């Protein structure tokens, strides 16, 4: 089963298909480089400063823009992978 990579662009652009393809290739290459073998789902949102500032404020109570935010689906413990892996 292939990895599921969901990409959302917060603003319309004619280059959306190209941007989505590049992001998908980067995600797949990263998974391979990191040796991630189980099938996974990754969601990517491409937004502007206003959008990421709102997310940062809502999720972390930090009212300013940032370059990247990432959120795990569940908490991992070193040396203790999830049982369904």
Rounded to an integer, what distance in angstroms lies between the CA atom of residue 43 and that of residue 51?
Answer: 16
pLDDT surpasses 90 at 5: yes
Residue-averaged pLDDT of the chain: 89
Of residues 27 and 75, the one with the higher pLDDT is 27
Residue 48 pLDDT: 92
Rounded to an integer, what distance in angstroms lies between the CA atom of residue 1 and that of residue 54?
Answer: 35
């Amino acid at each position: 089963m292939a990895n599921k990579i969901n990409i959302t662009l917060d603003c319309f652009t004619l280059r959306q298909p190209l941007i989505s393809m590049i992001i998908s290739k980067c995600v797949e290459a990263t998974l391979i480089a990191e040796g991630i073998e189980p099938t996974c789902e990754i969601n990517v949102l491409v937004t502007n400063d206003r959008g990421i500032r709102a997310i940062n404020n809502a999720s972390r109570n930090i009212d300013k823009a940032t370059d990247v935010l990432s959120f795990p689906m569940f908490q991992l413990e070193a040396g203790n992978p999830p049982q369904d892996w």
